[in-house]
Structure formats: C-alpha cells, structure tokens
Amino acid sequence: MITDIFDKALELESGRLLLRPVIEDDADALFEIFSDQEVMQYYDILPLKNKDEARELCDRFIRHFADRTMLRWAITEKESGQVIGTCGFFCFSDEDSKAELGYELRRDRWGMGFMPEAIGLIMRFIYENSNINRIEAFVEVPNISSQKLLKKLGFSKEGTLRQFEKCRGELIDITIWGYIRNDGLY
C-alpha cells in the first residue's frame, strides 16, 4: 500500500534542507507562512488570522498523519534552523496508485530553489518506498510560480479544468499537472 510510507524513516536531508513531519511546535512558524496574503493568494482557504488557527492547522496535519490520510513535512533551512515551508502528499488512492502534492514556502525564501530541492526529496522518497505510479497537482491558472516549479520537477501540464471549483466566491479554472513513474526522474 502507498500508505506504508508512513512506517518508513521520514527524516529527509538535502544540501540546504532537513525535512520531518509537522509537529505541534511548528505552529508559530506555520502562522508566519499561512497568514501571509501573498502566500495564500491562490489557496481555497483564507489566510490564518491568529495563532489559535495556526495551532488548529498543525493539529490537522498531525491528526491526518495519525489516520494516514496526509503526510506533510516541515521544511527546515539548515543554515538558520528555521521552518520555511511545508510540502507533502494527500488523497492517497491505492486503487489508482496515486496521490496529490501540496506545498508552500515563506515569501522571503521564494526564487532560491528551495521548493524544487524539498519536493525532489519527497518525490524520490515516495517512488523508492512505495509502488505509487502517479502524483498530481492542481494549480490556479494565474499561479505561474507554482506551474514553473512543477515543470522544473518534471511534471506535465495535462489540461485546464474549466470552472472547476468555487474559490473566493466565483467558479475558477484550474490547471492539472501529473507525473508518472514512467517519466523516470525519481
């Protein structure tokens, strides 16, 4: 099963980063990230308003880790020791052998290649430790940074889902991106 990955060693390391599952103590760092209007511009949830909401967010990540429906890593920058973002997988389907990818980074670390480095790690991890075939990501049309990131990581844009979901009060188009095992990078 894909969710066997929850039983593996989940601490991952690259040149500049350490990744490990989100813990309660991450609430303050996550508040700074998830309360930033620009980080949250293309999310279907509103920016966090206070630390209580950040604690609830952490609890949700921890709960979904326990019930094996979401694996969210906190991304720590080695040099500063600071948690600068999160990334991970959810919507696991053993029947279809797939999962969905999500991620976000502190604004003052954008454009430095941190997220490609972090997602490279978790892609290698999931392909080496499970029989997963497909990873998919759904991105709003104007979210160019996220689409450039996915392209860099070897994902293919598979199409645009027209008026796919209601976001901020209106139906919006969403691009769908996919990576399959045969793509062979991880």
Ligand X SMILES: CC(C)(COP(=O)(O)OP(=O)(O)OC[C@H]1O[C@@H](n2cnc3c(N)ncnc32)[C@H](O)[C@@H]1OP(=O)(O)O)[C@@H](O)C(=O)NCCC(=O)NCCS
Interacting residues toward ligand X by CB under 6 A: 39, 42, 103-105, 110-116, 139, 143-146, 148-149, 152
State how far the Cα of 158 lies from the Cα of 135, in Å rounded to an integer.
12
Task: Catalogue the E-assigned strands of the chain.
Answer: 12-13, 17-21, 70-77, 83-93, 98-105, 134-140, 156-167, 170-180
Q: At closest approach, how far in Å is the CB of 77 from ligand X? A: 11
Q: At closest approach, how far in Å is the CB of 171 from ligand X? A: 18
Between 53 and 104, CB nearer to ligand X = 104
Between 167 and 180, CB nearer to ligand X = 167
Between the CA of residue 145 and those of 16, 103, 104, 110, 151, what are the distances in Å?
21, 12, 11, 9, 10
Between 81 and 111, CB nearer to ligand X = 111
Residue nearest to ligand X (CB): 111
Q: At closest approach, how far in Å is the CB of 110 from ligand X? A: 4
Between 6 and 110, CB nearer to ligand X = 110
Work out whether strand 12-13 and strand 134-140 pair parallel, antiparallel, or are unpaired.
unpaired
Beta bridge partners of 76: 18, 83
Q: At closest approach, how far in Å is the CB of 84 from ligand X? A: 9
The amino acid occupying position 109 is R
